[in-house]
Amino acid sequence: MEFLADYAGFLAKTLTLVVAILVVLGAIAALRSRGRGKAEGHLEVHKLNDFYKGLHQRLEQVVLDKARLKQLRKQEAKLAKAAKKAGEHKPRVFVLDFDGDIKASATEHLRHEITAVLGMATPKDEVVLRLESGGGMVHSYGLAASQLARIRQAGVPLTVCVDKVAASGGYMMACIGDKVISAPFAVLGSIGVVAQLPNVHRLLKKHDVDFEVLTAGEYKRTLTIFGENTQKGREKFQEDLETTHRLFKNFVAHYRPQLSIDEVATGEVWLGQAALGKKLVDELKTSDEYLAERAKSAELFQLRYVEKKTLQERIGLAASVAMDRLLLNWLGRLNQRFW
């Protein structure tokens, strides 16, 4: 017991020190950023063909003998010269990435990347989105999906690649693609809506603590954490969930009419192979495989909008990421599947 008490004291001191350091750094960052406007971002563009070419050439240098390597380089140069002389123009593929959190924060960058692409893309080109998201807030993912809809409306082919997960709001985004490609064990679906909150009203009542909820409008507050919830409020809250779910189903059915929407809109998830059978996806393939194939016949450009963050924002982001990882690791241990 004495050891546990000492250990608890050590943890408390460590936590206090960490919090104190974060407070000091936050104060310094606030002073440094005071009076500055929000930093503007910029668009980074990388040609992926050069990346794939570099991988191949490095392997060839090690594996092939000098004579064979020289012959291969001469052949490549000859083909490149002939293509240039013939005025050959390859189609362009613009590659975007979306790594979604619960707030779909990556939408802020995605919107700028899409604006840049639509400034020059034509129906002969293609946009490939590498998507990873387990979903999140309805309005946040609604906006993210609306950004992708801009690509469809412009008549530019959109391919969505899912290597790990596109569920709930993530699948709301994925379904907009003209073609949805999934890795065999990626998680897809979860076409449903969920809301949950604790209620501590009885605990407060037990300790003679009153909590007043004042509203103007019958359904301004249906369920509350501290107040007493009513059956009428619960029914209205459930009605709102059903309305949101209906909108979700209609949205998915609009972009993927080949689906049996009532069969898949149960909130269930499926791994890639089963998702293909349910027509949630069109093909089983990793994004690496798809892009490597496209690089043989098209010019691939990876776009990334980068925003310079202040010290205060970087500290806040680091703390947020650390908390998210801690929470996800904890939840993962509670709901982990083993082979």
**Residues classed as catalytic:** 168, 220
What dihedral angle (degrees, nearest 10) is formed by the CA atoms of 215, 217, 102, 241? 130
How many angstroms separate the CA atoms of 20 and 12, rounded? 12
171: closest CA among 220, 131, 209?
131
Query: 252-274 in b/e burial notation, b at 16+ Cβ within 10 A?
Result: bbebbeebeeeebbeeebbebee
CA distance 248 to 235: 20
8 Å CB contact between 165 and 201: no
Q: Is the dihedral of CA 216, 218, 224, 229 positive or negative?
A: positive
Strands 299-307 and 41-47: antiparallel
Q: What are the DSSP calls for 131-193, one per residue?
A: EEE----HHHHHHHHHHHHHHHHTT--EEEEEEEEEETHHHHHHTTSSEEEE-TT-EEE----
φ/ψ of 257, rounded to 5, equals -65, -15
Q: CA 190, CA 161: separation in Å to the nearest integer? A: 17
Instruction: Give the rounded distance of the alpha carbon of 148 from its chain centre.
Output: 13
